[in-house]
């Protein structure tokens, strides 16, 4: 499976922004990855992304789940807004609307990146202040990244959120279900 270079570029930008160029160079060198730079619309093996995350975790003494969580949040708050603002705006004007539209929104992403090994999202149990988001993917180990994405959406929609795992592949389920509850800021 592969991810597009824009994900790896986002990892690089996150580290440079928070820790500086020198730290990125150390992480890149220690990772053993031969690519000096990543092309946004080129597909790269998933292993590169996971190796970068693991090296960041080891080098900065941050648990891998926190690295993935930070990357997910960064992806929404910085990368997506800067590179795909028009597309993000088309997803909805509130957190609830965006989450309900997420399955359709993600199909649009696949038009931009046709080689994407895309997850599937389903939304159930919709109430006024919560819903369940089903995350179905061939990839394992990205649930904290997805949690970070959801947290990032809370930030851009100025909405306080609570995320609860209802089921996880780490507990032998077939896919993750997140219960997302929210309260808009006054």
pLDDT tens by residue, 109-137 = 767 666 667 788 999 999 999 999 999 98
Same domain, 116 and 56: no
Q: Which residues lie across from 124 on neighbouring strands?
A: 132
Same domain, 74 and 87: yes
Q: Which of 91, 169, 88 is nearest to 134 (CA)?
A: 169
* Residue 4: pLDDT band with limits 50, 70, 90: low
CA distance 24 to 17: 10
pLDDT of residue 95 exceeding 60, the answer is yes
What pLDDT sits at residue 41? 63
pLDDT of residue 71 exceeding 90, the answer is yes
Beta strand 120-124 with 130-136 is antiparallel
Place of tokens 């992304």: 49
pLDDT of residue 87 exceeding 80, the answer is no
Same domain, 19 and 96: no
* Residue 15: pLDDT band with limits 50, 70, 90: very high
Q: What is the mean pLDDT of the chain?
A: 86
Same domain, 54 and 120: no
- Domain with 104 in it: 67-184
* Residue 43: pLDDT band with limits 50, 70, 90: low
């Amino acid at each position: 499976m592969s991810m597009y270079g824009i994900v790896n570029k986002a990892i690089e930008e996150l580290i440079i922004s928070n820790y500086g160029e020198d730290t990125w160079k150390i992480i890149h060198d220690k990772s053993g990855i031969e690519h000096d730079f990543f092309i946004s619309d080129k597909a790269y093996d998933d292993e590169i992304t996971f190796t970068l995350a693991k090296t960041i975790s080891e080098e900065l003494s941050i648990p891998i789940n926190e690295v993935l969580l930070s990357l997910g949040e960064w992806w929404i708050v910085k990368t997506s807004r800067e590179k795909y603002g028009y597309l993000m705006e088309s997803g909805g004007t509130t957190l609830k609307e965006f989450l309900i539209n997420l399955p359709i929104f993600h199909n649009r992403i696949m038009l931009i990146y046709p080689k994407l090994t895309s997850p599937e999202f389903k939304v159930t149990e919709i109430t006024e202040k919560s819903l369940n988001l089903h995350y179905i993917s061939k990839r394992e180990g990205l649930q904290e990244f997805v949690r970070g994405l959801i947290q990032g959406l809370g930030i851009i929609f100025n909405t306080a959120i609570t995320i609860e795992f209802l089921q996880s592949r780490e507990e032998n389920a077939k896919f993750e279900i997140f219960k997302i509850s929210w309260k808009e800021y006054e």
